[in-house]
């Protein structure tokens, strides 16, 4: 699902090649999203998908541990994640573009199981993935759904951030 040579992401430029833990985690998220996308299309076991993305789809360092954890959680708890996402959609989940669906599942997983990651980082990462791989305005859809999902799953964190904005 690489965006190399495709129209998706064309003209937008590649993301800067940045190094460090944040960049490695961003690349891991990108790989997980692509692995979820492949799983949606093929229903292959995660063990068959996992090595392919780390070899074929990455440029630069990937946080392998983060990749393994996110992919395992996303596929293990897919039904729970879908139950969280579906009430926020304007159509059945299976009708959502497969790229956006994979991004929403990844975002829901991280919101649910990784409280150490700020919700705004998770939303931003999802939007960036949608801009790079998704449909023309898919990033707006992803942004809206992940924002509402964060309000449900991270109510206290969202309220704290909102109250801090109002205090300035």
Checking if the pLDDT of 45 tops 50, the result is: yes
**What's the mean per-residue pLDDT of the chain?**
85
Higher-confidence residue of 38 and 52: namely 38
Q: CA 43: distance to chain centroid?
A: 18
Q: Which helix (H) or strand (E) segment is 109 a member of? A: helix 98-113
Phi, psi (rounded to 5 degrees) for 13: 80, 155
In tens, the pLDDT along 9-41 reads 333 334 444 567 789 999 999 999 999 999 998
> pLDDT grade, residue 58 (50/70/90)?
low
CA distances for 66 relative to 123, 167, 168, angstroms = 17, 35, 35
Put residue 19 in one of left, alpha, beta given phi > 0 → left and psi -120 to 50 → alpha.
beta
For the segment(s) 21-155, the CATH number from 1.10.10.10, 1.10.940.10, 3.30.460.20, 1.20.1280.50 is 1.10.940.10
Check pLDDT > 90 for residue 42. no
Total-model pTM: 0.83
Residues 60-92: pLDDT tens digits?
Answer: 688 889 998 999 999 999 999 999 999 999 999
pLDDT, tens digit (0-9, with 9 covering 90-100), for 130-145: 999 999 999 999 999 9
Query: Domain ranges in the chain?
Result: 21-155
Task: Provide the pLDDT for residue 163.
Answer: 84
């Amino acid at each position: 699902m690489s965006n190399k040579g495709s129209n998706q992401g064309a003209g937008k430029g590649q993301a800067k090649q940045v190094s460090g833990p944040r960049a490695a985690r961003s690349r891991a998220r990108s790989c997980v999203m692509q692995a979820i996308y492949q799983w949606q299309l093929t229903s292959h076991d995660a063990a068959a998908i996992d090595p392919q993305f780390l070899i074929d789809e990455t440029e630069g360092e990937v946080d392998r541990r983060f990749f393994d954890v996110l992919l395992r959680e996303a596929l293990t708890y897919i039904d729970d994640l879908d139950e969280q996402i579906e009430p926020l959609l304007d159509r059945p989940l299976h009708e959502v573009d497969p790229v956006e669906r994979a991004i929403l599942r990844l975002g829901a997983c991280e919101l649910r199981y990784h409280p150490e990651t700020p919700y705004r980082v998770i939303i931003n990462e999802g939007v960036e993935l949608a801009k790079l791989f998704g449909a023309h305005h898919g990033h707006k859809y992803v942004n809206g759904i992940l924002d509402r999902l964060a309000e449900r799953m991270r109510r206290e964190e969202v309220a704290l951030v909102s109250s801090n904005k109002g205090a300035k």
